[in-house]
Structure 1
Protein backbone atom coordinates (compact mmCIF):
# COMPACT_ATOMS: atom_id res chain seq x y z
CA UNK A 1 0.00 0.00 0.00
CA UNK A 2 1.22 3.50 -0.83
CA UNK A 3 0.11 6.41 1.37
CA UNK A 4 0.39 10.19 1.44
CA UNK A 5 0.20 12.39 4.53
CA UNK A 6 -1.24 15.70 3.34
CA UNK A 7 -1.80 19.11 4.90
CA UNK A 8 -4.23 21.56 3.32
CA UNK A 9 -5.34 25.11 3.87
CA UNK A 10 -9.04 24.72 3.05
CA UNK A 11 -10.54 28.13 2.32
CA UNK A 12 -14.12 27.02 1.55
CA UNK A 13 -15.43 24.03 3.49
CA UNK A 14 -18.64 23.72 1.46
CA UNK A 15 -16.90 23.54 -1.93
CA UNK A 16 -14.26 21.23 -0.45
CA UNK A 17 -17.05 18.86 0.69
CA UNK A 18 -18.36 18.93 -2.90
CA UNK A 19 -14.84 18.06 -4.10
CA UNK A 20 -14.63 15.07 -1.75
CA UNK A 21 -18.05 13.82 -2.88
CA UNK A 22 -17.22 14.21 -6.58
CA UNK A 23 -13.75 12.64 -6.43
CA UNK A 24 -14.59 9.69 -4.18
CA UNK A 25 -16.04 7.43 -6.94
CA UNK A 26 -12.91 8.05 -9.03
CA UNK A 27 -10.70 7.34 -6.02
CA UNK A 28 -12.59 4.09 -5.40
CA UNK A 29 -11.97 2.95 -9.01
CA UNK A 30 -8.23 3.13 -8.32
CA UNK A 31 -8.54 1.19 -5.06
CA UNK A 32 -7.82 4.33 -3.05
CA UNK A 33 -9.27 5.63 0.17
CA UNK A 34 -8.83 7.98 3.07
CA UNK A 35 -7.41 6.99 6.43
CA UNK A 36 -7.08 9.59 9.13
CA UNK A 37 -8.75 12.94 8.46
CA UNK A 38 -8.42 15.85 10.89
CA UNK A 39 -9.67 19.43 10.86
CA UNK A 40 -7.09 21.22 12.98
CA UNK A 41 -7.44 24.55 14.73
CA UNK A 42 -3.77 25.07 15.66
CA UNK A 43 -0.57 23.94 14.03
CA UNK A 44 2.10 24.23 16.69
CA UNK A 45 5.09 23.46 14.50
CA UNK A 46 5.36 23.36 10.73
CA UNK A 47 8.19 23.04 8.23
CA UNK A 48 6.36 25.20 5.66
CA UNK A 49 5.36 28.86 5.66
CA UNK A 50 1.80 28.28 4.43
CA UNK A 51 -1.11 27.63 6.79
CA UNK A 52 -2.55 24.14 7.34
CA UNK A 53 -6.04 23.57 8.75
CA UNK A 54 -6.71 20.03 7.55
CA UNK A 55 -4.50 16.93 7.73
CA UNK A 56 -5.34 13.54 6.24
CA UNK A 57 -3.93 10.34 4.82
CA UNK A 58 -4.91 9.05 1.39
CA UNK A 59 -3.84 5.58 0.29
CA UNK A 60 -3.64 3.49 -2.86
CA UNK A 61 -2.73 -0.12 -3.59
CA UNK A 62 0.54 1.07 -5.19
CA UNK A 63 2.48 4.18 -6.16
CA UNK A 64 1.51 3.65 -9.81
CA UNK A 65 -2.20 3.52 -8.86
CA UNK A 66 -1.75 6.89 -7.13
CA UNK A 67 -0.05 8.36 -10.20
CA UNK A 68 -2.81 7.03 -12.44
CA UNK A 69 -5.51 8.48 -10.19
CA UNK A 70 -3.92 11.95 -10.00
CA UNK A 71 -3.51 12.06 -13.80
CA UNK A 72 -6.97 10.68 -14.65
CA UNK A 73 -8.87 13.22 -16.82
CA UNK A 74 -12.07 12.73 -14.80
CA UNK A 75 -10.19 13.47 -11.56
CA UNK A 76 -8.46 16.50 -13.10
CA UNK A 77 -11.84 17.90 -14.12
CA UNK A 78 -13.16 17.53 -10.55
CA UNK A 79 -9.95 19.04 -9.18
CA UNK A 80 -10.24 22.12 -11.37
CA UNK A 81 -13.92 22.59 -10.58
CA UNK A 82 -13.86 22.05 -6.80
CA UNK A 83 -10.39 21.58 -5.30
CA UNK A 84 -8.80 24.62 -6.91
CA UNK A 85 -11.77 26.74 -5.76
CA UNK A 86 -11.65 25.53 -2.16
CA UNK A 87 -8.01 24.95 -1.21
CA UNK A 88 -5.52 27.79 -0.85
CA UNK A 89 -2.42 25.66 -0.16
CA UNK A 90 -1.40 22.00 -0.33
CA UNK A 91 1.53 20.49 1.56
CA UNK A 92 2.58 16.89 0.96
CA UNK A 93 4.02 16.17 4.39
CA UNK A 94 5.17 12.67 3.49
CA UNK A 95 4.62 9.76 1.11
CA UNK A 96 5.62 6.19 1.90
CA UNK A 97 5.02 2.49 1.46
CA UNK A 98 2.84 1.16 4.26
CA UNK A 99 2.38 -2.42 5.37
CA UNK A 100 -0.88 -3.51 6.93
Structure 2
Protein backbone atom coordinates (compact mmCIF):
# COMPACT_ATOMS: atom_id res chain seq x y z
CA UNK A 1 0.00 0.00 0.00
CA UNK A 2 1.02 3.60 -0.48
CA UNK A 3 1.27 4.22 3.25
CA UNK A 4 4.29 1.91 3.30
CA UNK A 5 6.01 3.66 0.41
CA UNK A 6 9.25 5.47 1.21
CA UNK A 7 8.82 7.58 -1.92
CA UNK A 8 5.92 7.78 -4.32
CA UNK A 9 5.72 9.64 -7.64
CA UNK A 10 2.43 10.14 -9.46
CA UNK A 11 2.83 10.85 -13.18
CA UNK A 12 -0.64 10.08 -14.52
CA UNK A 13 -1.68 13.72 -14.67
CA UNK A 14 1.32 15.01 -16.63
CA UNK A 15 3.88 14.05 -19.26
CA UNK A 16 7.37 13.45 -17.93
CA UNK A 17 10.61 12.83 -19.84
CA UNK A 18 11.48 9.15 -19.62
CA UNK A 19 15.00 10.07 -18.54
CA UNK A 20 13.60 11.64 -15.34
CA UNK A 21 11.68 8.48 -14.53
CA UNK A 22 14.55 6.13 -15.32
CA UNK A 23 16.90 8.19 -13.14
CA UNK A 24 14.76 7.10 -10.18
CA UNK A 25 15.08 3.40 -10.98
CA UNK A 26 17.96 0.92 -10.87
CA UNK A 27 17.29 0.08 -14.50
CA UNK A 28 19.81 0.33 -17.30
CA UNK A 29 18.62 -0.61 -20.78
CA UNK A 30 20.41 -0.06 -24.10
CA UNK A 31 17.23 0.87 -26.01
CA UNK A 32 14.59 2.64 -23.93
CA UNK A 33 12.02 2.84 -26.74
CA UNK A 34 12.18 -0.88 -27.39
CA UNK A 35 12.09 -1.74 -23.68
CA UNK A 36 9.06 0.44 -22.91
CA UNK A 37 7.27 -0.79 -26.01
CA UNK A 38 7.43 -4.33 -24.58
CA UNK A 39 7.31 -3.59 -20.83
CA UNK A 40 4.54 -1.30 -19.64
CA UNK A 41 4.55 -2.76 -16.11
CA UNK A 42 7.96 -3.00 -14.47
CA UNK A 43 8.83 -4.39 -11.05
CA UNK A 44 12.42 -4.16 -9.81
CA UNK A 45 14.18 -4.48 -6.51
CA UNK A 46 17.60 -3.83 -5.13
CA UNK A 47 19.03 -4.45 -1.68
CA UNK A 48 16.96 -1.69 -0.09
CA UNK A 49 13.83 -1.04 -2.16
CA UNK A 50 11.16 -2.41 -4.46
CA UNK A 51 10.33 -0.33 -7.53
CA UNK A 52 7.05 -0.43 -9.43
CA UNK A 53 6.48 1.40 -12.71
CA UNK A 54 3.33 1.46 -14.78
CA UNK A 55 3.59 3.22 -18.15
CA UNK A 56 0.15 4.22 -19.43
CA UNK A 57 1.39 6.06 -22.53
CA UNK A 58 4.76 6.61 -24.12
CA UNK A 59 5.96 8.62 -27.10
CA UNK A 60 9.31 7.56 -28.62
CA UNK A 61 11.86 10.15 -29.69
CA UNK A 62 10.94 11.59 -33.07
CA UNK A 63 7.18 11.33 -32.64
CA UNK A 64 5.00 14.38 -32.13
CA UNK A 65 5.19 15.52 -28.52
CA UNK A 66 1.99 15.94 -26.52
CA UNK A 67 0.83 19.55 -26.27
CA UNK A 68 1.21 19.58 -22.48
CA UNK A 69 4.83 18.52 -22.81
CA UNK A 70 5.83 20.79 -25.70
CA UNK A 71 3.91 23.85 -24.49
CA UNK A 72 6.77 25.29 -22.43
CA UNK A 73 9.29 24.85 -25.25
CA UNK A 74 6.98 26.50 -27.78
CA UNK A 75 6.25 29.34 -25.37
CA UNK A 76 9.98 29.93 -24.82
CA UNK A 77 10.65 29.88 -28.57
CA UNK A 78 7.90 32.42 -29.26
CA UNK A 79 9.15 34.65 -26.45
CA UNK A 80 12.67 34.49 -27.87
CA UNK A 81 11.41 35.49 -31.34
CA UNK A 82 9.56 38.47 -29.84
CA UNK A 83 12.65 39.53 -27.90
CA UNK A 84 14.81 39.39 -31.03
CA UNK A 85 12.23 41.43 -32.97
CA UNK A 86 12.08 43.98 -30.14
CA UNK A 87 15.88 44.34 -30.00
CA UNK A 88 16.02 44.79 -33.78
CA UNK A 89 13.31 47.47 -33.60
CA UNK A 90 15.16 49.33 -30.81
CA UNK A 91 18.40 49.20 -32.82
CA UNK A 92 16.62 50.53 -35.92
CA UNK A 93 14.94 53.30 -33.90
CA UNK A 94 18.24 54.37 -32.34
CA UNK A 95 19.87 54.46 -35.76
CA UNK A 96 17.03 56.56 -37.23
CA UNK A 97 17.22 59.03 -34.33
CA UNK A 98 20.97 59.35 -34.76
CA UNK A 99 20.55 59.99 -38.49
CA UNK A 100 17.96 62.74 -37.84
CA UNK A 101 20.25 64.44 -35.31
CA UNK A 102 23.30 64.20 -37.57
CA UNK A 103 25.09 62.04 -35.03
CA UNK A 104 26.32 59.56 -37.61
CA UNK A 105 29.40 60.33 -39.63
CA UNK A 106 30.48 58.39 -42.66
CA UNK A 107 34.16 58.13 -43.47
CA UNK A 108 34.96 57.17 -47.01
CA UNK A 109 38.42 56.54 -48.34
> What is the TM-score when the length of structure 2 is the normalising length?
0.20
| Greater gyration radius | 2
Q: Which has the higher contact order (CA 8 A, sep 6+)?
A: 1
Whichever structure has more helix as a proportion of its residues is 2
Query: When you count strand as a share of all residues, which structure comes out higher?
Result: 1
